[in-house]
Amino acid sequence: MGREMPLPPHDIMRAVINNRRDRVFGDESIWLCLTCETCSARCPNGCDPARVIDALRELAVSEGVSPSPRNVRAFHQAFLDQIKFSGRLFEVGLVLDYKLRSGDLLKDVANAPAMLVRGKLPVKPARIAGHGDVRRIIEACERERTAGGGELT
């Protein structure tokens, strides 16, 4: 994804070293990272930029600073909402939720019938017995994150 990032991983690392929050959180670069781990696999000094970018995203969310691209944020939030509700991903629900959040209502609508025909769109959501457990874990982590405000591991 480096080609599409205004700040590719090495520039993000440089901005972090120089403590340039304005640069790091100034555009969507950190949100375009797919965690493909290629940067970390190749770095001769073992710097692990993939982990650094993960941490920057966490920081961005907890401090409310970075504008993640609407679609990307919408997807992640829809995902987490789904699993909070049912413990597993119910793909129809996920896509609907995503469309509503992102405003991208027509996305893949044309493909839906094809998916259904191939049996790939279960229409019934499956809620696991431990869905409460999952909700609890998600909320506990959120509390730890906002309360702690300390070191990001």
Partner 1 sequence: MSLGYYPGCSMHGTSREYDESLKAIAPALGVTMTEIDDWCCCGASSAHAADHLLGVALPARNLALAEAQGHDEVLAPCAACFNRLAGARHAVANEPGMAARVQAVLERPFANSVAVRSVVELLLGLAPTIEEQVAARLEPNQLGELSIAAYYGCLLVRPAEITGFDDSERPSSMESVIAACGARPVDWNMAVECCGGAFSVSRTSSVVRLSRAIIDDARSHGAQAIVVACPLCHSNLDFRQAAMTRRGEEPMPILFITQLVGLALGLPAETLGLGRHFVATEPLLTQLKALAAARAAADAAKAAAAAEKAAARAAASDRPVVAASAAAASDPAPAPPSAGGGDA
Partner 2 sequence: MARIGVFVCHCGENIARTVDCARVVEELKSHPGVVHSEDYKYMCSDPGQALVRKAIEENDLTGVVVCACSPHMHEKTFRGAAAKAGLNPFLCEMANIREHCSWIHEDRGEATDKAIDIGRTIIEKVKHNVPLETIRIPVTKRALVIGGGIAGIQAALDIADGGAEVVLVEKESSIGGHMSQLSETFPTLDCSQCILTPRMVEVLQHPRIKLHSYSELESLEGYIGNFKATIRKKARSVDEDLCNGCGDCQAACPSRKIASEFDAGTGKRSAIYVPFPQAVPNIPVLDRVNCTRFKAKRKGIEKDVCGKCQEACLKGAIDYEQEDSFVTEDVGAVVVATGFQLYSIGRDQPAGLKGYGEYGYGDVPDVIDGMQFERLASASGPTGGEILRPSDGKPPKTVVFVQCVGSRDPEKGIPYCSKICCMYTAKHTMLYKNKMHDGKAIVFYMDIRAGGKGYDEFTRRAIEDDGAQYVRGRVSRIYRDGDVVKVWGFDTLSGEQVVVDADMVVLATAMRPQPGIAELAQKLSISYDEHGFINEAHPKLRPVETNTAGIYIAGACQAPRDIPESVAMASATAAKVLGLFSADELEREPTVALVNEQTCIGCFSCEQVCPYGAIEHVDVCDVEGHICGVVARVNPGICQGCGTCVAVCPSKSVELQGFTDEQIYAEINALGSW
Of 24, 17, 21, 54, residue with least CA distance to 37? 54
Give the shortest CB-66-to-partner 1 separation in angstroms.
Answer: 12
Distance CA 62, CA 142 (A): 9
Does 116 help bind partner 1 (rule: CB under 8 A)?
A: no
CB under 8 Å to 107, separation ≥6 — which residues? 98, 99
Give the shortest CB-42-to-partner 2 separation in angstroms.
Answer: 6
**Interface with partner 2 in residues 15-54 (CB under 8 A):** 38, 42-46
Measured from the CB atom, the residue of 8 and 125 that comes closer to partner 2 is 8
Q: Which stretch binds partner 2 (CB under 8 A): 5-13, 56-64, 117-125, 136-144?
A: 5-13
DSSP tag of 43: -
Distance CA 1, CA 37 (A): 11
Residue 11: name its binding partner from partner 2, partner 1, none (Cβ under 5 to 8 Å by kind).
Answer: partner 2
The phi and psi torsions of 121 (rounded to 5 degrees) equal: -120, 90
Measured from the CB atom, the residue of 51 and 76 that comes closer to partner 2 is 51
**Interface with partner 1 in residues 40-59 (CB under 8 A):** 40-41, 50, 54-55, 57-58
